[in-house]
Structure formats: C-alpha cells, structure tokens
Amino acid sequence: MKKYIFQFSLIAVLLMLASCGSDKDEKQNNDKAINVKIAQVVNNVDNQFLAVSGKVQAVKSSNLSTRIMGHVNKIHVKIGDKVAKGQLLLSISNNDLSAKLAQIHASIIEAEAAYTNTEKNYNRFVSLFNSNSASQKELDDITAQYNMAKARLEAAKQMKKEIEAQFSYANIIAPFSGVVSNKFINEGDIANPGMPLLEVESPGEFKVTAMVPETEISNVKKETEVIVQVKSLGTLLRGKVVEVSSSAKNTGGQYLVKVLLEKTDLNLLTGMFATVRFPINDSDSSKSILIPISALVTKGELSGVYSVSQSNTALLRWLRLGRIYGDKVEVLSGLNADETYIISSETKLFNGAKVTIQ
C-alpha cells in the first residue's frame, strides 16, 4: 500500500513540475514582442473608383432548344467545334411527325375530292337557279356544302404547313457562325420542348455583366469608360458601359450593368471572373480615408484593424466601413487622419500583445 502511495505522489509531483514549466514557457512566449509593420492613414486619394465583381460573357450567345419531344438521334458537333451559320448540329427522331404528315396527306386527298365534287354540284345548281329550275333553298343548301368542303380543304392544307414547320425543330441548326461552347444532352436522351440542348457563341466580342448595389447605382452612367481586371489572366482591359438596368425587382437590390470590352488578342473565355472599376464623381471623395483590405481583422459581422498603443501593445479598433475601391476600403469611422495602424505582423496578433515596429 505504501508503495502505491509513493508512486502516486511521484506522478503528481512530475505533473506539477511539467505544468509549471509550460506556464513559464507560455509566459515567455507572451512576453516576446511581435515584429509588425505599420502605415499611416492617407486622407487624400486620387482616381477613386467603385469596384464590382462580374463575369465575362460572349456578346453573341445562344442556347439552342426544340419545340418537339423525341430521342436525340445524332449530335454532329463537339464542344469547341467551329460551326457555320445554317450548319446541322443535332438531329431528333421525327417518326411521329412523319406519321402525322402521312395522315395529313391522306386528309388533303379526301378533302380535295369532296371539294371538287361539291364544286361541280354548286356550279350546276347555280345554272339551274338562274334558269328558274331550282329553288332558293336548294341553292342555299348546296352553297353551304360548298363552303364547308372548301373550309375543310383549307384546314387540311394549314395542318400540313404546321407539321412541316415542326420538322425544322427536329433538325437543330446553327443560328450564326461561331463555336459550340456547351452541350447539355447526349445521343439517346429524350429532348423536351424548351430544354437547352447546345450552346453556341460567337468569339471575338465579349462583355462583362456585373451587379451594382442600389447605394452605388447612381454613380454608374451609360457610355462611361471603365477599367476591367480579368483576374485569371492578370491583365487590365478597357470597356464601356452599354446597359444599366433600371429595376432591381428580381435581383434583391442589385442592378444589372453590362460592360462591352475592347477587342483583344487575349484568350478570354466565357465565365471568367472580372472586376469592373467604375470612376466615381464624388465631391467628398478627397476627404475619404482608405486602408488596404488585407489589413482588416474580421470577427463575424465586425471589422477592425490593430493599432499600436503608447505601451507598445496591439490595440484592436473596430471600424465602420464604406465603399470598396479595388484593394482598398473606405473607413467611415474608427480611424482618423495621420493615425497609424498595423498592416502586417510576423505572427498572429491578439489584443494586448507586445509589438515591435520594424
């Protein structure tokens, strides 16, 4: 029993020593100053702009669909293929249409025979009536029969035109010269009316569609020259605002803006992310305070920056932010002109941490 008590006491002592050692190490780590870099608040920035994210799209693009239901017999193109206007792209089974067309042909033959026979009787009764050999009622009856036969023949011919028109939806052709950019169906699948089958776009001309918040839409005007940054290509392009939506009813307070890009030899592709920089004519722009977005510290919905206190410790200051200008953000309150803030540190900062300014 004494042996067990001795072992337990020894373990407790070792644990206590280890705990004291870790506390000492943690205290030493907390006492160690963190090297930081600071920057001074800038109160006057030229060439301010509003930055909004968007996507690159082809100016001329079309999703091709059909008005009939049927199996896809053959897809004649692949994604990336160049196509000419009027070229056959996809074929849909038209057996049902062929059967209906045969029925219509039979109906037309029957209607033509009835019309021809009724027309002869009508002409005969007109002659008899003119010679007072037929009554007015007999002429009226044959006239009604003649008009009905004529109407049935015309209805059959119109039905034939309708069926023939549907044949055009069984063969999907290119509406313009371009490139097949997407395929939404495979051979053997069933195509439904209105269902997108292929996408064709014309390369060379591109636009950027962006959503501008309602608080900023008044600063965006049609025909305005803008700068567009294509992130994946790491380049800047010029563009012009060609369309500004006047309603945000179905877009949650965001207004659709379209920017036509200048022609370029760069390998632009539909779907690439871009940032559109709209110039802002604001009389108060020269008074705004801008700081880098990278310097922000976020916790939930709150944003702030670290500054250096008089005792050389990190002091977290919460900010109220405004517009975003590229890689900078406007500070509405929380920082004043000529104050300094921490822009980077060698390790993670926390409130009250000792710092050394590099």
User: What is the SS3 assignment for 79-142?
Assistant: CCCEECCCCEEEEECCHHHHHHHHHHHHHHHHHHHHHHHHHHHHHHHHHHHHCCCCCHHHHHHH
pLDDT attached to residue 13: 45
Contact indicator for 223, 258 with CB cutoff of 8 Å: no
Strand arrangement of the beta sheet that strand 34-40 belongs to = 340-345, 34-40, 355-357
pLDDT at site 239: 92
Distance CA 125, CA 144 (A): 12
Q: Give the architecture-level CATH label for domain 66-92+169-191.
A: Beta Barrel (2.40)
Determine whether 188 is exposed, middle or buried from the number of CB atoms within 10 Å of its CB (0-12, 13-18, 19+). Answer: exposed
Does residue 351 sit in helix, strand or coil?
A: coil
Strand (E) or helix (H) holding 144: helix 136-167
Distance, C-alpha 293 to centroid of its chain: 26
| Angle value at C-alpha 261, between 257 and 265, nearest 5 degrees | 155
Fold equal for 32-47+286-357 and 66-92+169-191? no
pLDDT value at position 8? Answer: 44
Is beta strand 171-173 parallel, antiparallel or unpaired with respect to 82-83?
unpaired
- pLDDT tens for each residue of 305-355: 999 888 889 999 999 887 776 677 888 888 887 788 998 888 888 888 898
Edge-to-edge strands of the sheet including 88-92? Answer: 171-173, 88-92, 70-75, 190-191
Which pLDDT belongs to residue 23? Answer: 45
pLDDT at 310: 86
Q: Which fold has domain 50-58+202-281?
A: Elongation Factor Tu (Ef-tu); domain 3 (2.40.30)
- The kind and range of the H/E element at 10 are helix 2-31
| Positions in the chain whose pLDDT score sits under 50 | 1-8, 10-15, 17-29, 45-46, 284-285
Q: Are strands 225-230 and 273-279 parallel, antiparallel or unpaired?
A: antiparallel
Domain regions of the chain by residue span: 32-47+286-357, 50-58+202-281, 66-92+169-191, 95-167
Structure confidence at residue 258 (pLDDT) = 93
What CATH class is the domain 32-47+286-357? mainly beta
Contact (CB, 8 A) for 114 and 99: no
- At 219, list the tokens: 């600063």
Q: Terminal CA-to-CA distance of the chain, rounded, Å?
A: 61
**Cα–Cα distance, 9 to 330 (Å, whole number):** 62
Residue 14 CB neighbour total at 10 angstroms: 10
Cα–Cα distance between 217 and 195 in angstroms, integer?
A: 35
Q: Can you tell me the distance from the alpha carbon of 68 to that of 92, in angstroms, rounded to the nearest whole number?
A: 9
C-alpha closest to that of 64 among 240, 195, 192, 186: 195
pTM of the model: 0.54
Secondary structure of the chain: what % helix, strand, coil (to 5)? 30, 40, 30
Q: Which helix (H) or strand (E) holds 227?
A: strand 225-230
Domain 95-167 is found in CATH 1.10.287.470:
yes
